[in-house]
């Protein structure tokens, strides 16, 4: 008897029908089983040997960086048991969806993920200047809210993909392409539970090698901040911003440390607990001709690229930083 073939699992922001799910299908097709989670952080936490891959929204061309995604990348697990191993760029076309029979003039509330709401501010301001806006963990969760058995759902609409009108029975598209510009793309990081795991992509597109490095200050360099007193006679003290220390470390070493172009720098507050300390995410790109990735594992050229990035990380650490390779693809 032959062994039953089980598909590898990919976790994405749910419920199914989100743009994360759609991006996953563009990248993996039917080669995987899709697992949903209710938040971006839960997606990252689910990546393991049982669920070896995941999708993390990283940036939108209209609304910028996905803050939840970068906050999740601050986790100590990233760089030790979770790694970025690829990327997917998805064209995004938002639709205004409501329960069947609901008309434009009846809508008093519009619900969606904050990224989608931000990408449709012009449409909302023009057609629904007085509606209530409500954020949901995902666009598909917003669509599912419309099916709740309450009176407000009959006066609500969701901004999401047209796929939701097919997945959730009882919904219909009121208007398509409600985003502020058609140059609307979202980039997703493909996560894996090891640094050499190769996601089962549908289309093997040649690309330049990239890497993602996280840099912060080690605990020993965090300046102790004075405690804020509750005494009535004491003057309040304000912690001194520490941006300059970490920024000096970053800018003073990046241009010469890695020897390859830095194509992106993102910054989020550090998870260290030190007020105004920062964590930087540095994306690197290799020089040369685009190459097609191998089917499994890393090629010798991939190993050489990883070694080069790790050597750069070692130099950052040698001058007082705390750097980790958290992605290579």
d(CA 52, CA 290): 26
pLDDT along the chain (329 residues), means of 10: 72 89 90 93 96 95 91 96 94 94 95 94 96 94 91 94 90 95 91 91 75 83 50 58 55 68 89 82 86 72 90 88 93
- Which of 101, 94, 92 minimizes the C-alpha distance to 171? 101
Tokens of 209: 């090698």
* CATH (domain of 40): 3.40.190.10
52 and 100 housed in the same domain = no
84 and 99 housed in the same domain = no
**204 belongs to a structural domain:** no
315 and 253 housed in the same domain = yes
Phi-psi region of 23 (alpha: psi -120 to 50; beta: other; left: phi over 0): alpha
**1 belongs to a structural domain:** no
**220 belongs to a structural domain:** yes
In DSSP terms, which residues pair with 176 in a beta bridge? 95
88 and 99 housed in the same domain = no
pLDDT of residue 246: 57
- SS3 percent helix, strand, coil of the chain, rounded to 5, is 30, 30, 45
Q: 326 in helix, strand or coil?
A: strand
Asked whether the beta carbons of 139 and 116 are under 8 A apart, the reply is: yes
Q: The pTM is what?
A: 0.77
Contacts of 226 (CB under 8 A, 6+ apart): 237, 239
DSSP secondary structure letters along 4-58:
PP-PPEEEEESSTTSHHHHHHHHHHTTSSEEEEESSHHHHHHH-SSSS-EEEEEE
Report phi then psi at 73, rounded to 5. Answer: -70, -10
pLDDT of residue 69: 94
pLDDT of residue 307: 93
Q: Name the one residue in this structure whose structure tokens are 């419920």.
A: 15
237 and 309 housed in the same domain = yes
- Number of residues that make up the chain: 329
73 and 108 housed in the same domain = no
pLDDT of residue 204: 65
**126 belongs to a structural domain:** yes
* Number of domains observed in the structure of the chain: 3
- Which of 160, 166, 155 minimizes the C-alpha distance to 99? 155
pLDDT of residue 251: 57
**104 belongs to a structural domain:** yes
Asked whether the beta carbons of 329 and 299 are under 8 A apart, the reply is: no
58 and 110 housed in the same domain = no
pLDDT of residue 2: 45
Query: How many C-beta atoms surround the C-beta of residue 211 within 10 A?
Result: 24
Q: Which residues form the domain of 160?
A: 95-176
- Domain final residue, candidates 158, 192, 226: 192
């Amino acid at each position: 008897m032959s062994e039953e073939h089980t598909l590898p699992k990919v976790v994405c922001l749910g419920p199914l029908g989100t743009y994360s799910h759609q991006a996953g299908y563009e990248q993996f097709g039917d080669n995987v089983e899709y697992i949903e989670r209710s938040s971006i952080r839960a997606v990252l936490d689910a990546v393991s040997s049982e669920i070896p891959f995941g999708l993390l929204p990283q940036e939108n061309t209209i609304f910028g960086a996905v803050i939840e995604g970068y906050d999740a990348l601050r986790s100590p697990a990233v760089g030790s048991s979770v790694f970025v191993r690829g990327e997917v760029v998805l064209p995004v076309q938002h639709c205004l969806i409501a329960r069947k029979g609901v008309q434009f003039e009846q809508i008093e509330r519009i619900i969606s993920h904050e990224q989608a709401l931000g990408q449709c501010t012009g449409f909302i301001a023009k057609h629904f200047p007085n509606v209530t806006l409500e954020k949901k963990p995902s666009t598909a969760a917003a669509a599912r809210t419309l099916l709740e058995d309450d009176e407000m759902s009959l006066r609500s609409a969701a901004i999401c993909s047209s796929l939701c009108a097919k997945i959730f029975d009882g919904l219909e598209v009121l208007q398509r392409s409600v985003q502020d510009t058609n140059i609307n793309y979202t980039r997703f990081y493909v996560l894996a539970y090891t640094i050499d795991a190769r996601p089962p992509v549908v289309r093997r597109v040649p690309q330049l090698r990239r890497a993602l490095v996280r840099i912060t200050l080690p605990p020993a360099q965090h300046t102790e901040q004075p405690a804020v007193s509750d005494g009535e006679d004491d003057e309040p003290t304000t912690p001194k911003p520490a941006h300059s220390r970490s920024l000096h470390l970053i800018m003073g070493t990046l241009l010469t440390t890695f020897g390859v172009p830095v194509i992106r720098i993102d910054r989020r507050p550090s998870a260290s607990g030190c007020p105004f300390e920062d964590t930087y995410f540095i994306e690197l790109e290799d020089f040369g001709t685009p190459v097609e990735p191998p089917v499994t594992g890393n090629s010798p050229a991939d190993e050489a690229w990883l070694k080069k990035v790790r050597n750069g990380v070692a130099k950052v650490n040698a001058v007082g930083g705390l750097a980790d390779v958290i992605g290579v693809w």
